[in-house]
């Protein structure tokens, strides 16, 4: 599935992928989106559909049994799933987030074992960085890992962990040398079945209600030393490199949510009649739609440029990843809010999907670094 691409042309292969994912999403994911949101249940239908089409973790390289999708193909998958159900789009997005540290820094044996398991659909991957007292200040984490012979023993709490309790595998950042701050943090793979791993109650959230968000507890979790990802003390650097790449996937999620809202609003204003004509014929409505489409296309192009830079590993990826995530999520919040406005009172009800899209869009401005943090990142990495 991997293919070279430039900044101005999407390949035929990528467009074919988009058509395939859109068809699957509309047929097998969209019908359950409202129920998933209303009941706050995991979108098992989406996982089954994505896994059945080998779209649950397309980023895994072919050598480990994956589809070997490039960064743009991964973005397209997430975008098209998010267009109908943001909660479901977190399956491929978080599988990449959780497993990318292994792909970037893991030993050959670790890659073969865990990337292979992910590609085969044997379990999802989650990412454990944030803690109750270490959100934006991730280097201030307190989870500890202490060496004990051929093992490491982990103790601590991680918070805001997407798909916690459903995922089988967890990339966990823990302090191995408290004196070194960020350079004393190491990364590990922890399995759901490891003794001492447990989970808190699901958070009651504004949006993405179908994707469980829970605390993860580590109580004397004893894991083999070969489950460390990379060398001791390199975990924080790996975590930040990971976010450079995966912020592009959050931008893709935001673009997809915004596209779904715009599509629905366009259809509605053509059907809704007031004062003897479709409200789509009123200039005020046309201006709103034009602004929504303009912001969406700008967000999409910035996201695709960032995906190209992610694929190539460009030196300015840190700036572009932050810029894409920040701009696309801000645009998604504006576009979904305008979609609710265009539907009027109907837009404010759960009978129509745009209120769900508006709620779902909000989180894209917060997770994987708030947009205030993104602006700090951009300012420190100006091209």
- Asked, for residue 98, whether it belongs to a domain, the answer is yes
- Last residue of a domain, which of 72, 90, 119? 119
Mean pLDDT of the chain: 96
The pLDDT of residue 255: 98
Q: 190 phi and psi, to 5 degrees?
A: -115, 140
368 is catalytic: yes
Closest by CA position to 308, among listed 6, 50, 36: 6
User: CB-based contacts of 290: which residues, under 8 Å, 6+ apart?
Assistant: none
Mean pLDDT of 162-178: 98
Domain count, the chain: 3
d(CA 242, CA 55) in angstroms, rounded, equals 20
Q: 153 phi and psi, to 5 degrees?
A: -115, 120
The pLDDT of residue 3: 46
% the chain with pLDDT above 90: 96
The reported pTM is: 0.96
Instruction: Tell me 107's DSSP state.
Output: -
**DSSP-H helix ranges across the chain:** 12-24, 30-39, 44-52, 71-82, 86-105, 108-110, 116-119, 235-271, 283-312, 317-343, 354-363, 371-380
Which residue range(s) make up the domain with 98?
Answer: 12-119
Task: Looking at the structure, tell me whether residues 107 and 134 fall in a common domain.
Answer: no
Pairing of strands 125-128, 169-175: parallel
Task: Looking at the structure, tell me whether residues 202 and 332 fall in a common domain.
Answer: no
Q: State yes or no: pLDDT of 8 exceeds 50.
A: yes
- Last residue of a domain, which of 218, 234, 250? 234
The pLDDT of residue 1: 44
Task: Looking at the structure, tell me whether residues 368 and 336 fall in a common domain.
Answer: yes
d(CA 83, CA 300) in angstroms, rounded, equals 13
Task: Looking at the structure, tell me whether residues 263 and 347 fall in a common domain.
Answer: yes
Pairing of strands 169-175, 151-162: unpaired
The pLDDT of residue 353: 98
Q: Which of 79, 215, 355, 368 is catalytic?
A: 368
41-57: per-residue pLDDT in tens? Answer: 999 999 999 999 999 99
Q: State yes or no: pLDDT of 186 exceeds 80.
A: yes
- Asked, for residue 244, whether it belongs to a domain, the answer is yes
Task: Looking at the structure, tell me whether residues 173 and 184 fall in a common domain.
Answer: yes
Task: Looking at the structure, tell me whether residues 31 and 112 fall in a common domain.
Answer: yes
Q: Average the pLDDT over each of 6-15, 125-134, 349-358 and give the range with the smallest value.
A: 6-15
Instruction: Give the pLDDT band of residue 207 (cuts 50, 70, 90).
Output: very high
Sign of the Cα torsion 19, 100, 60, 317 reads positive
Mean pLDDT of 26-46: 98
The pLDDT of residue 135: 87
Instruction: Let me know how long the chain is.
Output: 383
Sign of the Cα torsion 6, 11, 17, 23 reads positive
The pLDDT of residue 89: 98
Mean pLDDT of 283-311: 97
- Asked, for residue 249, whether it belongs to a domain, the answer is yes
The pLDDT of residue 136: 87
Q: State yes or no: pLDDT of 6 exceeds 60.
A: no
Task: Looking at the structure, tell me whether residues 135 and 215 fall in a common domain.
Answer: yes
238 half-sphere exposure, CB direction, 13 A CA radius = 30
133 half-sphere exposure, CB direction, 13 A CA radius = 6
Q: State yes or no: pLDDT of 263 exceeds 70.
A: yes
142-169: per-residue pLDDT in tens? Answer: 999 999 999 999 999 999 999 999 999 9
Mean pLDDT of 7-26: 91
Task: Looking at the structure, tell me whether residues 16 and 61 fall in a common domain.
Answer: yes
Mean pLDDT of 340-368: 98
Task: Looking at the structure, tell me whether residues 104 and 139 fall in a common domain.
Answer: no
The pLDDT of residue 92: 98
The pLDDT of residue 383: 83
- Asked, for residue 48, whether it belongs to a domain, the answer is yes
């Amino acid at each position: 599935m991997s293919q070279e691409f430039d900044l101005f042309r999407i390949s035929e292969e990528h467009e074919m992928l988009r058509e395939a994912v859109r068809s699957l999403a509309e047929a097998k994911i969209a019908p359950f989106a409202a129920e998933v949101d209303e009941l706050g249940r995991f979108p098992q239908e989406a996982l089954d559909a994505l896994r059945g089409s080998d779209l649950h973790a397309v980023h895994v390289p072919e050598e480990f049994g994956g589809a070997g999708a490039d960064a743009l193909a991964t973005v397209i998958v997430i975008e098209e799933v998010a267009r109908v159900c943001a909660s479901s789009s977190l399956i491929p997005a978080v599988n990449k987030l959780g497993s990318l540290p292994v792909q970037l820094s893991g030993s050959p044996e670790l890659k073969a074992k865990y990337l292979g398991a992910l590609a085969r659909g044997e379990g999802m991957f989650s990412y454990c960085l944030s803690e109750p007292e270490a959100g934006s200040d991730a280097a201030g984490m307190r989870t500890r890992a202490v060496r004990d012979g051929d093992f490491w023993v982990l103790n601590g709490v991680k918070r805001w962990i997407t798909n916690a309790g459903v995922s089988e595998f967890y990339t966990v950042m823990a302090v191995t040398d408290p004196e070194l701050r960020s350079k004393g943090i190491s990364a590990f793979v922890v399995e759901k079945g490891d003794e001492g791993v447990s989970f808190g109650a699901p958070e009651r959230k504004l949006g993405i209600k179908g994707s469980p968000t829970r605390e993860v507890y580590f109580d004397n979790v004893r894991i083999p030393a070969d489950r460390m990802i990379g060398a001791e003390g390199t975990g924080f650097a790996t975590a930040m490199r990971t976010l450079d790449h995966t912020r592009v996937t959050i931008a893709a999620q935001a673009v997809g949510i915004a596209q779904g809202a715009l599509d629905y609003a366009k259809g509605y204003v053509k059907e809704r009649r007031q004062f003897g004509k479709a409200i789509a014929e009123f200039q005020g409505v046309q201006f709103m739609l034009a602004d929504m489409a303009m912001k969406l296309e700008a967000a999409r192009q910035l996201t695709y440029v960032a995906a190209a830079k992610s694929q190539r590993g460009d030196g300015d990826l840190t700036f572009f990843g932050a810029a894409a995530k920040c701009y696309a999520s801000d645009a998604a919040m504006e576009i979904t809010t305008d979609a609710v406005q265009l539907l009027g009172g109907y837009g404010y009800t759960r009978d129509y999907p745009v209120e769900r899209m508006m709620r779902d869009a909000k989180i894209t401005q917060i997770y994987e670094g708030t947009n205030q943090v993104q602006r700090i990142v951009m300012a420190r990495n100006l091209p």
